[in-house]
Homo-oligomer: A and B are copies of this chain.
Amino acid sequence: MAEADAKFMRTLRELARCYQAFESFSEAHIRATGLTSAQFDIIATLGNTRGLSFKDLGERTLITKGTLTGVIDRLEARELVRRTECPHDGRSQIVVLTSAGEKLFRRIFPAHMAHLSSAFAAVPETQLLHTELTLRRLRELFEAAHELSLEEAEMTGAARSRPRRAA
């Protein structure tokens, strides 16, 4: 972003760097298990459950539905998960770990937790909480601004031609 004179750019840049640092630290370990990050996320989320719908999985892992189809496809091809029908809702499908998936989960999940925790060995819990709070506040700024900018877009004509939600 060149040298943006705005002070907030430094903060944003640090956010991006921090996130990427986490990703590469985490991913380095995950790759060794033969899974990708997204795949690991699914396995980890499915562990210790009786199965979850695509919708639930998407919400918990922050993976959007379009992406999810492909990720689940690949896991299913490797027989780590299985799609099953939802008894209550014909639109829905429940994704469950197969026994191989279960086994993999038990093998790699604790190991990955240990890997992650090594980064935090020397960090007191109060600081973790503090960091969490700082991040949450920052996130809320983005969410509020995002909402606002969507509303503005509605007013200024993008909405003229489209079905809109009544106030």
User: A residues bordering B, Cβ < 8 Å?
Assistant: 1-4, 6-12, 14-22, 24-25, 28-29, 31-34, 41, 44-45, 47-49, 62, 109, 113, 115-120, 123, 125, 128-132, 134-139, 141-146, 148-150, 166-167
Contacts and interface: CB of A to CB of B under 8 A. Distances in A.
A161 to B, nearest CB: 15
A109 B14 CA distance: 20
| Copies per assembly | 2
5 contacts: A4-B113, A8-B117, A21-B146, A22-B142, A28-B150
A12 B10 CA distance: 21
Contacts of A134: 130-131, 134-135
Given A6-B116, A131-B134, 9 more contacts: A7-B128, A11-B129, A17-B135, A18-B138, A19-B19, A20-B62, A22-B138, A123-B141, A134-B135
B116 A25 contact: no
A138 B167 CA distance: 41
Contacts of A21: 139, 142-143, 146
Contact of A14 (B1, B135, B167): B135
A49 B3 CA distance: 10
